[in-house]
Structure 1
Amino acid sequence: LDKRRRVLRFIAKFSINQWKRGVSDFLHCLVEYCESLSCCDDVAVRQNICTLVGFLLKEQDGGSATEESVMSIDIKRKLYSILLERQLDKVTAVRSEVILSVADIQDDEIPNDFVEALERSPKDGGFP
């Protein structure tokens, strides 16, 4: 991994660890940050936000299918909606980050109350 992705992965792991310890403010601020910058004019910012969102979604299960999910459905919805919105980005680099992010989470179990993911599952070709 390049240095940029390592830093973003560290931020994702740190925020999930804080959430597990009961400090939810950091993750909430990070999600709001991602939401606010996902429509930024700068291509590199949008690309990095998609990478960070992908790492957050991947890390929320602790990297194992046996561990119970950490994030609330509300936070997952917000992160997933960022990826849905950016899949139609005009820049190829941003769309490719969305594809990489979705590829990392495509085998995750989808809870029944997570309607957005059930309607457009990556397994069913919901993403380009």
Structure 2
Amino acid sequence: MALTEQELRTLDYEPDTGGHFGDYGGRYVSETLMAALNELDQSYRKLKNDQDFQCEFDADLASFVGRPSPLYHADRWSKAIGGAQIYFKREDLNHTGAHKVNNTIGQALLAKYSGKPRVIAETGAGQHGV
């Protein structure tokens, strides 16, 4: 069943305070993982605004990835389209060339700050470890 134009305009694309999207948003995982995911959630909420955590995260991104990625002003393209200033964020210059390392570094630091001695994770595309 397709949504009407009115229904599409009223959809809320932002999560609520519990992290849910819409009426049915949430976690769809095995019940055996819920305790670990709840612990992860608590650790993240505690650390996401922690100054030391953020400083180490930024330093690791700079060291291992090459962030912040430089911006390149596309001068000729900007002129060709009438003056809007177009910039490219040069993600292709990152050492790894992929967004996955951002998540990996964050998860490793989260584990470190949470006192976890090891991380077990999938390696395939789209397979995020728990």
By percentage of residues, which structure has more helix? 1
Report the TM-score, using the length of structure 2 for normalisation.
Answer: 0.22
Q: Which has the higher contact order (CA 8 A, sep 6+)?
A: 1
By percentage of residues, which structure has more strand? 2
Report the TM-score, using the length of structure 1 for normalisation.
Answer: 0.23
